[in-house]
A = this chain, B = another copy of it.
Amino acid sequence: MLSKKCKYAIHALVYLAEKYHEGPVHIQEIAEKKHIPKKFLEAILLELRNAKVLGSKKGKKGGYYLYQKPADVNLMQIIRLMDGAIALLPCVSLNYYEPCEECRNEKTCGIRDAFGKVRDETLRLLGGSTLDKILKREKILEGN
């Protein structure tokens, strides 16, 4: 399971992708529309800003906006930023690798092999899920 922090981040980013051409959006607005605790959302957006996913503007008429194009931000990036590893086991993680105490030989471990395949498929799907595509898919589903 993803953390709530990560889920909130994703919803906030999709919201900001919808408003990509409308200038900075207040934290307050996102928090209300998406039912996210405002102070918690503050911390999340700040982290996304420090990671150059979002930009911000202080003061009146301030707020947050997508720093990158909606087609350039995908779920894989966001999850890695918020929650860390995507793989289910440390020994198959690309970004957070840690060796396994339990297995004698990592190269031939059948468990590692199975979870490696899960990781590959997950990364393929999450990496292909851009904010752009999520919005487009939403439009299609709403059309039915």
Contact = CB atoms under 8 A, between A and B. Distances in A.
Contact of A14 (B1, B7, B110, B136): B110
Interface residues of A, number: 44
Interface string A92-108: 00000000011101011
B107 A141 contact: yes
A61 interface: no
A43 interface: no
Tell me the dominant secondary structure on chain A's binding face: helix
Interface string A21-62: 000000000000011100000000000000000000000000
Contacts of A122: 118, 121-122
Contact of A134 (B1, B111, B121, B135): B111
Given A1-B87, A105-B142, 15 more contacts: A1-B85, A1-B88, A1-B90, A2-B89, A11-B102, A14-B110, A35-B102, A108-B142, A109-B138, A110-B133, A110-B135, A114-B125, A114-B129, A118-B125, A121-B122
